[in-house]
Amino acid sequence: MLTGLLLGLTAGSLRAQTTPAAAPGQEPRYEIGGITISGIRYLDPNTMIGLTGLKVGDPVSLPGEEIGRAIRRLWDQGILGDVNVVVDRIEGNRVFLDFQLKERPRLSKIYFTNIGKNQADELRNKIKIVRGKVVTDALLNNTRQAVRKYYTDKGFMNAKINITQEPDSTLPNSVELVIDVKKGDKVRIADIDFIGNVAVKDGKLKGQMKKTKEKKSYKFLNAGKYNKTEFEADKQKVIDYYNAHGYRDAIITSDSLITVQSEHTYRWIGKENGKFGIHKRTEREADKLALRIYVDEGPKYYFRNVRWAGNYLYDDRTLASVLGIKKGDVYSKESLDKRLNYNPTGQDVTSLYMNDGYLFFQIDPVETRVEGDSIDIEMRITEGVQARIKEVNIAGNTKTSDHVVRRELRTLPGDKFNRELLIRSQREISSLGYFDPEKVGLNPVPNPADGTVDINYTVSEKPSDQITLSGGWGGYAGFIGTVGLVFNNFSLRKAGDLRNWKPVPGGDGQRLALNVQANGLQYQSYSLSFTEPWLGGRKPNSLTVSLNRSIQRYSSSGTLDAASLRSGSYIKVNSASVGLGRRLRWPDDYFTLSNSLSVSRYDLKDYPYIGGFNTGQANNITFNTTLARNSTDNPTFTRRGSALTLSLNLTPPYSVFKGAHPNVNEWVEFHKWMFDASWFTPMGSKLVLNTRAHFGFIGRYNKSRAYGPFERFKLGGSGLGFGGASNFIVGTEYIGLRGYDDPQDVFAIPTARQQESGGIVYNKYVMELRYPVSLNPAATVYVLSFAEAGNAFDNYNQYNPFKVYRSAGIGARVFMSAFGLLGFDYGYGFDNVPVPLGSTQRQDHSKFHFIIGQQIR
């Protein structure tokens, strides 16, 4: 406590001294003869003397303003609990002062009461008080405010915070802060009312506020909490909405936060206090909030005349066509800025110039006249000069070689600057899969002095290799285990140096995949593939080579011992393929064309699951050509773009050759057409709508020849192909249809059950609404809801693209760099599947599906 100035003079000492002469009405003046500090143990006395602002030889009055200022300077430091000034002695006109100080205690520990450990730890991180710091009034106030804000942000607006100081017996001049928290009831927003709005309804305005929501019983996901910072941001969103719809003068004149209380009466029938009957109890509910937001909409404005100034490269008509604003359109600053600077759905004026190298282009829209509800705009343009790219720098690629990134760039040194190609380069880097797509940065650095620009790309490596350790149930084959290794950024060039095996050589963008599936002797499958995406290193021409071998054994006796399986029936498949792909420049460079040749040999012995062909050998030579266009922006969580694929598989038409062998199975022949289309449309800031359509058709060259048994479509379930024994035959396409059984189950889509091999034509339609939960590259997670429909048919006479089995449901996807994509879906099938004769099972419309790997169809 501040005591003030004490003139410590006894009567005897006063008589012994001679008081300096002073003018009438004025205090006598002294010269400071000495200053001492007493009462402190941890503070430096010389520092304290310096803080007083006094020094030996200064003139002072007793009492006087000089001593008062010195006391205030010491007190303002906040480190003292009491300040006294005592006159030690007076010698002639010299006075000796002693500042008697009391130090404030220092902090040793902080304790929280009435809250849990997790909240206490969070508060310690927010407060960030250093042990040993002087406990000042400011420290106590800041601590109290920080704790209160923490609970206010959580909706506890009536939280009471009490801080007490308790001496620490283990440390001298130290205290422990005990912070007692009484949270009270959580206060939620019960009502939000807009007052003064006529043109826009309350519901529309409430929808603009993303964080400030009413708490209603039917709104399960809305917390209804009030946060002042978030509320201020939401108010600006309301104004932005008005501005975007022509109300350029709209303002929020005021807002008020009203605390409301309510009572609720509970009634029940029962026994209470020894009496049976109807009882009631009235309880006061927790305090609630009502927000009142007062709006002044102002008039609605429209564009009138738009004039251009300073444009030489393009004439007014061209610029007006790109701008797309006509006389009478609703005035919108948001729309105007989008059409001038960056329009994600179309061309804008700035892109028109910047895509032709005019990096230094500037445009300034000026309102030249406001008359009634009409506004005239003048577009003042500074075109500048064309800029050329000087340097292209890449940073952050700690594993991936520079040339792998640079070959994907559309911005090369010496080229004219082009904003569209700059954004395209960013997309191509993201699509590689080696970097976090959310952290691919680009920064053009203009050099106005020489009219050039440097392009700086930044990337952040993420794990791209995958290991698969999984299992699935394969009907007769039982449990099937899978071990797979996929090295997506492999380097064959570095494989010769053992120092690069960490654990495998990487960085050149090649892909090496090894996969083994087995459940002992019953079923075994081995595959190896290698892809070089830039064959020769100069052009994006890819080379893919793959080898596959599988064998499935079947015991007619039903026993699964090794001897029975080795002597029983089997099907063996050996295949190899080689493919070449290239990126096209027409119609645009999102197109790719790939061709491959594959050879398969089937060896069967008494195998019962291939209709009409149980023993013998068959050969399949297939030429595949695939035309695809992919403009999606992100491989793990796509927000926009599309992916279209048209694929054709052809075998030689053996049956049309003169003297061809009539056996349909010895030389497999068919032509198969596949079409897949997927579109991604952003629905707001996070939601994404994915719509898909898929079609497949299998044809024959000779109508007198039956369809072979090896190429079929099977529809239903998760699409993983674990439905039955014949599911392991090469050539079968498994099409997922959530909400229904996997092929070969009792309630599978009829075609897959009626004919063991499956259907020859199918179609499927899907609509998914996706929401990202986490975009962390280590684990990208999103949830989805879906509606889909599809069917497969045995022949073209039955084919009807509108005769489909429908389903809907919800799901989730987790993409982990090391394991790939994992999916969980819960689907409900709306349509009944015909029950086979003799079956006593009952159809279950609800299905839970587990998905491993990316499902295209």
Of 679, 684, 642, 644, the closest CA to residue 772 belongs to 684
* Alpha carbon 495 to its chain's center: 36
Place of tokens 């329009």: 343
Of 183, 166, 184, the closest CA to residue 175 belongs to 166
Q: What is the model's pLDDT at position 3?
A: 44
Lowest-confidence region among 79-83, 93-97, 272-276: 272-276
Q: What is the mean pLDDT of residues 235-264?
A: 87
**How far apart are alpha carbons 422 and 415 in whole angstroms?**
12
Q: What is the mean pLDDT of residues 220-226?
A: 69
Q: Which range, 136-145, 676-685, 815-824, has the best average confidence (pLDDT)?
A: 676-685
Confidence of residue 114 (pLDDT cuts 50, 70, 90): confident
* Alpha carbon 605 to its chain's center: 53
Of 180, 194, 203, 257, the closest CA to residue 225 belongs to 257
Tokens in use for 731? Answer: 């050539």
Query: Whole-prediction pTM value?
Result: 0.68
Of 420, 422, 444, 426, the closest CA to residue 355 belongs to 420
Lowest-confidence region among 70-79, 328-337, 477-486, 633-642: 477-486
**How far apart are alpha carbons 829 and 717 in whole angstroms?**
10
Q: What is the mean pLDDT of residues 552-557?
A: 72
Buried b (16+ CB within 10 A) or exposed e, 108-130: bebebeebeeebeeebeeebeee
Q: What is the model's pLDDT at position 62?
A: 81
Q: Which residue has the higher pLDDT, 654 or 350?
A: 350
Confidence of residue 728 (pLDDT cuts 50, 70, 90): very low
Of 391, 364, 382, the closest CA to residue 447 belongs to 391
Q: What is the model's pLDDT at position 312?
A: 94
CB 336 within 8 A of CB 343: no
Q: Which residue has the higher pLDDT, 20 or 667?
A: 667
**How far apart are alpha carbons 431 and 776 in whole angstroms?**
16
Runs of H (alpha helix) within 245-326: 316-323
Beta pairing partners, 5: 85
- Rounded to 5°, angle at Cα 785 from 780 and 787: 135
Burial class (CB in 10 A: 0-12, 13-18, 19+), 758: buried
Lowest-confidence region among 143-147, 224-228, 443-447, 490-494: 224-228
Confidence of residue 80 (pLDDT cuts 50, 70, 90): confident
The single-letter DSSP state of residue 476 is G
Q: E-assigned strands of 12-74?
A: 29-38, 59-61
Biggest CA–CA distance in the chain, Å, is 146
CB 188 within 8 A of CB 224: yes
389 pLDDT higher than 90: yes
- Averaged confidence pLDDT in the chain: 84
pLDDT tens, residue by residue, 29-68: 888 889 998 888 778 888 888 888 898 888 988 878 888 8
434 pLDDT higher than 80: yes
Q: Which residue has the higher pLDDT, 126 or 782?
A: 782
Q: What is the model's pLDDT at position 17?
A: 39
Lowest-confidence region among 101-105, 332-336, 528-532: 101-105
814 pLDDT higher than 80: yes
Q: What is the model's pLDDT at position 663?
A: 63
Label the pairing between strands 779-793 and 761-776.
antiparallel
Lowest-confidence region among 295-309, 328-342, 555-569, 704-718: 555-569
In a 13 Å sphere around the CA of 79, the CA atoms on its Cβ side amount to: 15
Distances in Å between the Cα of 478 and the Cα atoms of 523, 607, 722 are 9, 17, 9
CB 550 within 8 A of CB 728: yes
**How far apart are alpha carbons 62 and 410 in whole angstroms?**
83
Q: What is the model's pLDDT at position 830?
A: 94
- Residue 143, classed as helix, strand or coil, is helix
- Rounded to 5°, angle at Cα 201 from 197 and 206: 100
The single-letter DSSP state of residue 429 is H
Packing angle of the helix pair 45-52, 65-76 (nearest 10 deg): 130
End-to-end CA distance of the chain: 79
Of 356, 363, 407, the closest CA to residue 381 belongs to 363
Buried b (16+ CB within 10 A) or exposed e, 619-651: ebbbebebebbebbbbebbbbebbbbbebebbb
Q: What is the CA radius of gyration of the chain?
A: 40
**How far apart are alpha carbons 768 and 779 in whole angstroms?**
21
pLDDT tens, residue by residue, 451-481: 999 999 999 998 888 777 665 554 455 566 7
- Residue 399, classed as helix, strand or coil, is coil
Domains of the chain: 2-103 (3.10.20.310), 106-182 (3.10.20.310), 188-296 (3.10.20.310), 302-382 (3.10.20.310), 390-458 (3.10.20.310), 466-852 (2.40.160.50)
Tokens in use for 565? Answer: 């399986």
856 pLDDT higher than 50: no
**How far apart are alpha carbons 80 and 52 in whole angstroms?**
13
Whether the CA torsion 703, 709, 711, 715 is positive or negative: it is positive
CB 688 within 8 A of CB 681: yes
Percentage of residues of the chain with pLDDT beyond 90: 42
CB 130 within 8 A of CB 142: no
CB 780 within 8 A of CB 814: yes
Please provide the DSSP assignment of 323-334 as one string: H---TTPBP-HH
Confidence of residue 218 (pLDDT cuts 50, 70, 90): low
CB 761 within 8 A of CB 714: no
CB 649 within 8 A of CB 730: no
Of 536, 631, 525, 532, the closest CA to residue 571 belongs to 525
**How far apart are alpha carbons 596 and 358 in whole angstroms?**
44
**How far apart are alpha carbons 830 and 845 in whole angstroms?**
7
**How far apart are alpha carbons 776 and 772 in whole angstroms?**
10
Distances in Å between the Cα of 462 and the Cα atoms of 398, 399, 659, 779 are 10, 10, 58, 11
CB 738 within 8 A of CB 825: yes
176 pLDDT higher than 90: no
Q: What is the model's pLDDT at position 367?
A: 94
Percentage of residues of the chain with pLDDT beyond 70: 83
Place of tokens 């004490």: 6
At residue 130, φ and ψ (nearest 5 deg) are -85, 130
Q: What is the model's pLDDT at position 605?
A: 84
At residue 50, φ and ψ (nearest 5 deg) are -60, -35
State the amino acid at position 439 in one-letter form: K
**How far apart are alpha carbons 397 and 439 in whole angstroms?**
12
Q: How many residues does the chain have?
A: 857
